[in-house]
Amino acid sequence: MTSKQARSRVTELGILPIDKPGGMTSHDVVARVRKTLGIKKVGHAGTLDPLATGVLVVCLGRATRLSDYLMGQRKRYVTRVRLGVETNTLDADGEVTARSQVLPDGIESIEAAAKQFRGTIRQVPPMYSARKVSGKRLHELARAGKVVEREARDVEVDSLDILDYTPPFLDLDVRCSKGTYIRSLAADLGRALRCGGSVETLRRTEIGRIQVDQCVGLDHLTASSVSPALLDPYEALSDLQECRLTDEEINRFAHGNEVSVSSEPTDACRVTDEAAAFWGIGKVGPDGRLHPVCVLREQETVRETHPA
């Protein structure tokens, strides 16, 4: 097998965790991976701001169909907040809009304020974000000098731990749900402390069970080295429950047919065969029927392996 053929096989359905460097957009990373690996079908699961570093899950080939499920997993961040400074982007890349010299005396007052930002909270997305309003991305409107009303949404902050406070810098470790903006969290906490705040640095350390120490740096990524860095889609989606099918049931699933299962109702589950091979994503309804949502294996392969 040639190196080109080997690369084609590993990138046909690949999940590649990248340690995104600062100063690049998530789309910049995708373009770099596409060029380095010489493949067209590349996407990412979960945007990181240009200022941010850390875990960016890049999907290759048919794995791009899994991006929504990867994005839905819990995330963890380590951030440094500069108290006493507010900016238009809510981070250090923006223009300063307000300053305060009155900062919290110690961690006790910060901890008291932080309590209201744990659990399910209401959060307004930043103007400088990829969220859409009336079909337009907020950051496009913001750069045009427009500020529009944004609807507050429920997000979940599983934990908000204070790592260090050396004025004016406050270091936090945050575990949260999809859709949580750390910049908004920092700004809201700053307002609660009556001094304002903005993100100085931000690093995503986990998505689901994918940790930053599993990621490869862009400078070390080559076409010949990509294979060891790829993650098993089954493991990468470990937050989803598993639904194991018999060979006959797998054949039906792979051809787009529903299957009766004993699993609990769920919007998304990992579908595997008796050998624990991953076949795709299904949805289990209240009636106990598994509906194929995303089938990743070719039907021709199914016919050869599990003839009807």
Domain(s) of CATH 2.30.130.10: residues in the chain: 240-305
- DSSP letter for 175, please: E
pTM of the model: 0.89
- DSSP letter for 123, please: E
3-state SS assignment for residue 114: helix
Within 10 angstroms of residue 255's Cβ, the number of other Cβ atoms is 13
The reply to whether omega before 21 is within 30° of 0 (cis) is no
Digitized pLDDT (tens) for each residue of the chain, 308 residues in all? 344 444 445 557 889 999 999 999 999 999 999 999 998 999 999 889 999 999 999 999 999 999 999 999 999 999 999 999 999 999 999 999 999 999 999 999 999 999 999 999 999 999 888 888 878 888 888 888 888 888 899 999 999 999 999 999 999 999 999 999 999 999 999 999 999 999 999 999 999 999 999 999 999 998 888 888 899 899 999 889 999 999 999 999 999 999 999 889 999 999 999 998 999 999 999 999 999 999 987 543 433 333 33
In degrees to the nearest 10, what's the CA dihedral of 140, 146, 147, 151? -50
* DSSP E strand boundaries for 128-213: 132-133, 136-137, 153-166, 169-176, 197-207, 210-211
Residues with active-site annotation: 49
Span 74-132, pLDDT tens digits: 999 999 999 999 999 999 999 999 999 999 999 999 999 999 999 999 999 998 888 88
The pairing of strands 119-123 and 96-99 is unpaired
Class of the domain covering 75-207: alpha beta
Contact (Cβ atoms closer than 8 angstroms) between residue 170 and residue 193:
no
Can you give the length of the chain in residues? 308
Contact (Cβ atoms closer than 8 angstroms) between residue 48 and residue 91:
no
Which of 75, 42, 30 lies closest to 202, judged by CA? 75
Domain(s) of CATH 3.30.2350.10: residues in the chain: 3-72+209-235, 75-207
Give the CATH number of domain 3-72+209-235; options: 3.30.2350.10, 3.40.50.1100, 3.40.190.10, 1.10.10.10: 3.30.2350.10
Q: How far is residue 100's CA from residue 70's CA, in Å, rounded to a whole number? A: 39
Contact (Cβ atoms closer than 8 angstroms) between residue 101 and residue 229:
no
Q: How far is residue 46's CA from residue 86's CA, in Å, rounded to a whole number? A: 25
Longest C-alpha distance within the chain, in Å? Answer: 74
Which of 152, 151, 193, 150 lies closest to 170, judged by CA? 193
The pairing of strands 136-137 and 132-133 is antiparallel
How far is the CA of 115 from the CAs of 90, 110, 161, in angstroms? Answer: 21, 9, 10
| Fold entry, domain 240-305 | 2.30.130
